[in-house]
A and B are shown apart, each in its own frame.
Chain A
Amino acid sequence: MTIHAADFRELRLEGMRRAFGTVNALKGIDLRIARGEFIALLGPSGCGKSTALNCLAGLLPLTGGSIWLDDQRIDTRRPEQRGFGMVFQNYALFPHMSVRRNVAFGLLMRGVPKAEAARRVEEALATVRLQAQADKLPGQLSGGQQQRVAIARAIAIEPPVVLMDEPLSNLDAKLRLEMRAEIRRIHEGLGSTTIYVTHDQEEALSLADRIVVMREGEIRQVGTPEELYAQPAHLDVADFMGYRNRLPGRIAGREGGLVTLDMGQGGRLTGTMREPLGETAVIAVRPDDMTTTDENASGVPATVRAIEYRGREFHGIATTSEGIDLFFHTERPVQVGTLVRLAAEPQRALVFAGEAA
């Protein structure tokens, strides 16, 4: 027998709300999470993602809504009765206990028999590859090792759900990549359900089965990494998914799902409509989809400000006459200071509702 995740079918958030005084940190979150899923809560700081995690763990009481584990309502339970494993941003290891005692703590609290507890501690330590450090104090470990102890401690209790609050944000870049792979490996090895809070879209894209993009206490979009990457539903989601170029304009024409925007000064771009539009809209394009064109009828005129050679192609920055910076890739060596026209395939340019600002 090995460590395995507790059995359940579905974790359900129904209108989960949390207010701090008059500030609504969570404005009614609805979400269904199936057993075994890896969910990333993604959003900028202050979007409520950490609040959501703390509410799930029971560290913050809800001010509205409910949380269900199958047919059991759990939001009224205290954290110690919920049994979710949690990995804290600062690890929160008990500094006066050895690594082994840290990992054993949850089992001790649950009254797991000694022999069984010892076996599970060894397995949890083996899972995070830390058997050799078992008798050290947390203060004697490196940041990456402390992180592993925190994970081992959370999984040793075989929780139905593991909650992780930006667990990699305190590590350096190289360690972050290693631990990212490690976290995914542990998740798959245990068949556990993981809810992972991050502000790093790369982390979310590479780890998660589904990403929940949050903004201002609300869910903006839920989808697989592929869906979010190719079809963001809102401008702020697109923003998060690397659509760095954003050009506002007036709608000059519609044809099927395609919309042509007039940016003034002879600039025109056609893109795919992503939501109902008024008279003005914003077109969003990824830098690697934005390129130079020779056609005079389409594209946006801009002056090249910087260009650098990246092996296969050039990456450049150009500024429109309105002062908007555009990031583009091109195979032609263009000179700094020259006027170019930048364009994108209509399928690769997304049009969102928005003010021409």
Chain B
Amino acid sequence: MSATAGPAPTLRLRLAARGLDTVTLLVLPAALVILALFLYPFLYGLWLSFRPKDGSLLGNYGRFFSDPFLYDTIWTTMRLAVPVTVLNLLLALPVAFRVRLMRRQRLLTTILILPITLGTVLVAEGMLFYFGAQGWFSRTVMTLGLSSGPVKLTNSYTGVFLSLLITGFPFTFLLTLSYVTGIDSSLEQAAATLGAGPRSRFRHIFLPLLLPGLAITFCLSFVQAYSVFPSAVLVGEPARITRVISIAAYQAAFEEYDYSMASAIAMIMGFTQLAVVVAVLASRQLAYRGPAGGGKG
């Protein structure tokens, strides 16, 4: 009895060795929430999109991609979301680099993130007054003699662009700041003692270490901008230039009462932004993705 192999490990032990034990059960509530609030509506919408009024399986998708009034919305949305996101990143990066060195960091950060708490609608409403034909901006420009007639930045591409920039910036900035401050400052000092000026330090040290984080920031900000709806209606020109894809979905659902078509548009919206996100994240694989520390310490 003595030197033989012990009893085979119980199922519980074998599961525990693979990282599954009773603690794993704590995942359940979250999993249920995701299932009920995300997965079910998505699958239901997907199913619904394949059941158009005319009865064919791909009728909705066929209609969408054959009607320029519908498929142009993809391009219209991209034309807004991509430049806004890129510009936000380009603005957030230098600001984050400056704020990183500041003592009153918290105060400035609070001011910068204020637009987040306002919400899109309030910002859009404010813009209507400020950037409208009778707004302060227009009057200031005229008083300074920079323009003979009133300058109207609302009800146009520019209006939506500005609104997305204002509401998107705080989010982009906060994410960027956390990535920038996550880089060990001794790396920059080491680069400096090795002869690297500010430009080289950014190019050789900061940028490669920041790229993965910037890619994530881009994706999250892009997804936000891509689903633009209130400002496209309020400060845009929703019939033509800023007829974004969410407006097309809204019209299908609540003006034509064609839920099946609306679901199809929502699916197309989801897959087009997924394509951008996947492309950006895939290019992230090319960059270094380890910790941004300088070694032990």
Interface residues of A (CB under 8 A from B): 57-59, 78-80, 82-86, 88-96, 105-106, 109-110, 137-139, 143, 146, 150, 153-154, 157, 163, 170
Contact = CB atoms under 8 A, between A and B. Distances in A.
Contact of B192 (A78, A91, A146, A150): A78
A324 to B, nearest CB: 38
Contact of A110 (B190, B195, B209, B288): B195
B196 interface: yes
Interface stretch (B45-53, B241-249, B289-297): B289-297
A137 B195 contact: no
A227 to B, nearest CB: 32
A146 B295 contact: yes
Q: Is the interface of B mostly helix, strand, loop or mixed?
A: loop
Interface size class of B (residues with CB under 8 A): 20 to 34
B213 to A, nearest CB: 13
A319 B293 CA distance: 49
A93 B196 contact: no
Contacts of B296: 90-91, 143, 146, 170
A88 B190 contact: yes
Contacts of B194: 80, 105-106, 109, 153, 157
Given A59-B189, A59-B193, A84-B193, A90 B297 contact: yes
Contacts of A150: 295
Given A85-B193, A92-B186, A157-B195, 7 more contacts: A78-B197, A80-B196, A86-B193, A94-B205, A95-B294, A96-B290, A170-B297
Contacts of A109: 191, 194-196, 200
Contact of A58 (B186, B192, B291): B192
Nearest to A153: B194
Which 4 A-B residue pairings sit nearest by Cβ, starting from the closest? A90-B297, A96-B288, A91-B295, A106-B194
Contacts of B292: 95
Nearest to B186: A92
Contact of A80 (B184, B193, B290, B293): B193
Q: Which of B184, B191, B192, B209 has the most CB atoms of chain A within a 10 A radius of its CB?
A: B192
Q: Which of B189, B190, B292 has the most CB atoms of chain A within a 10 A radius of its CB?
A: B190
15 contacts: A57-B189, A57-B193, A79-B192, A79-B193, A80-B196, A85-B193, A95-B187, A95-B290, A95-B293, A105-B194, A106-B194, A106-B195, A143-B296, A146-B296, A154-B193
B204 interface: yes
B83 interface: no
Contact of B294 (A57, A83, A84, A88): A88
Interface in B275-297: 287-288, 290-297
Contacts of A84: 193
B41 interface: no
A15 B83 CA distance: 54
B149 interface: no
A321 B184 CA distance: 53
A93 B295 contact: yes
A137 B289 CA distance: 12
Given A91-B295, A95-B209, A170-B296, A59 B192 contact: yes
Nearest to B200: A109
B200 A95 contact: no
B290 A137 contact: yes
B12 to A, nearest CB: 36
A80 B192 contact: yes
B186 A88 contact: yes
A59 B191 CA distance: 11
Contacts of B191: 94, 105, 109
